[in-house]
Copies of this chain bind each other. A is one copy, B any other.
């Protein structure tokens, strides 16, 4: 197995659009939010649920055409989204259920946001057919990126490769919503099309990656 681990590590390098360093800096910014959450005696799971509620409100804002307000709230919510994990680490209270709840509600939040964008497209676009099809591909593709990761994890493999992890997807979507909020709807539709292409490419890349890893580790992984 150690050979395949090493290989995983090599394949991971440089596979993400945002650098690990940027993420580290982001984490340093979280310290005050984590201290506040501790002062308010919030558990990581409570923070996770509050994050989902914020995303629901933002999706409703977007659906009703309050795009800039939605983009601003999503930015705030995405910072909160990083707080739960940091809080769990700070308190040493991370549970397996916390990880499960966090990732399941992350997926739910992403879906709810896409549905809000869909409602906006249906209400405002003269012919929403192709934007809606691209949106459904992006929704399905985003899920498949996460699903293939979780399934690979269940096999004891790591499938972190890919051009469109969640943080990058969220940054793109928020930028697209803001562009549409400034009156440039093709900006949001373009982002959706890019997400559709990136997520489908990432899924294919992950299937390929898992195939390579399972070939490398074939003797360990045969069932029965």
Which A residues lie at the B interface, using CB under 8 A? 92, 94-97, 99-101, 103-104, 107-108, 111-112, 114-115, 118-119, 122-123, 128-129, 132-133, 135-137, 139-140, 143-144, 146-148, 150-155, 203, 207, 210-211, 214-215, 218, 221-224
Contacts and interface: CB of A to CB of B under 8 A. Distances in A.
Nearest to A98: B223
A212 to B, nearest CB: 10
Contact of A97 (B95, B129, B139, B221): B221
Contact of A143 (B101, B107, B215): B107
* Interface class of chain A by DSSP: helix
Contact of A222 (B96, B101, B207, B224): B96
Nearest to A153: B154
Contact of A118 (B133, B215, B218, B223): B133
A111 B140 contact: yes
- 6 closest A-B pairs by CB: A111-B140, A97-B214, A96-B221, A143-B143, A150-B150, A154-B154
A144 B100 contact: no
Given A122-B132, A153-B154, A147 B107 contact: yes
Contacts of A150: 147, 150-151, 154
Contacts of A223: 94-96, 99
Contacts of A97: 210-211, 214-215, 221
